[in-house]
Amino acid sequence: MGSNGYLSVASHAGMMAAARPDGVAFSTDSGSTWMPMGIPAMLTRIRTVTFSGDGTIWLGAREGVYFSHDKGKTWLWIGRLPFSDVDDLYYDEPSNQVLVSSRTSEQIYAINAKTLKWEWWQTGYRIGLVRTAAGHVVAASLFDGVLVEPQATLANTAQK
C-alpha cells in the first residue's frame, strides 16, 4: 500500500488486514493484492485488528471497539464497553470471544462474538496485551511482567 507504520496484522480464511494508526489495508487473496479499507470517520488512532471465527473484522482504537460484518463497508461500535482507549484485541476461538485490554485499565473484557454480550475480570494490573493458552487468560502487564490466570475458566464462558 506504499506506506509504513503498521501496528497489527490479522488473517482469516484468505482475508488479511493490516492496521496503521490512521487506516487499514485489506486483502481478500491472502495478501497478493491490497486495498484501503473504509474505517469509521471518528477514529483518531487505530491500535489493533483481529478477525473473529465468522470473518467479522474487529478494530481496537482510542475511541473503543468497532466491528464490521461486511469487510469494512459498515461499522458498529461496542458503545456500552466501560473503557474506550483500547490497546489490544485477541480472538479466542474455543470460547468465540474477543478479548479486549487497555493500558489505562486493570480490567480485561471478553465480548461474545455472536451475541455481543460481554463480561470482565478485574486483574489488579494495567494490561497492555492479552492472549489465551490452554483455557487460561495470559496477559502482559505494563509493570509486573507476564500474568497467567490461575484457573482455566475462559473456555467455560462460551456458553454464556
Residues 6+ apart with CB under 8 A from 63: 40, 42, 43, 44, 77, 84
| pLDDT tens digits, one per residue of 85-137 | 999 999 999 999 999 999 999 999 999 999 999 999 999 999 999 999 988 99
User: What residues does each domain of the chain span?
Assistant: 1-77, 87-160
Average pLDDT rounded to a whole number, residues 147-159: 71
Residue 159 pLDDT greater than 80, yes or no: no
What's the rounded Cα separation, in Å, for the pair 6 and 88? 14
Query: Rounded to the nearest 5 degrees, what angle is found at the Cα of 20, between the Cα atoms of 51 and 27?
Result: 50
| pLDDT tens digits, one per residue of 2-36 | 689 999 999 999 999 999 999 999 999 999 999 99
How many Å from the N-terminal Cα to the C-terminal Cα in the chain?
40
Top-level class of domain 87-160 = mainly beta
Average pLDDT rounded to a whole number, residues 78-85: 92
- pLDDT (0 to 100) of residue 26: 97
Cell of 98: 474477543
Average pLDDT rounded to a whole number, residues 56-65: 98
Residue 156 pLDDT greater than 90, yes or no: no
When computed from its CA atoms, the radius of gyration of the chain, rounded to whole angstroms, is 15
The reply to whether 87-160 shares the fold of 1-77 is yes
Top-level class of domain 1-77 = mainly beta
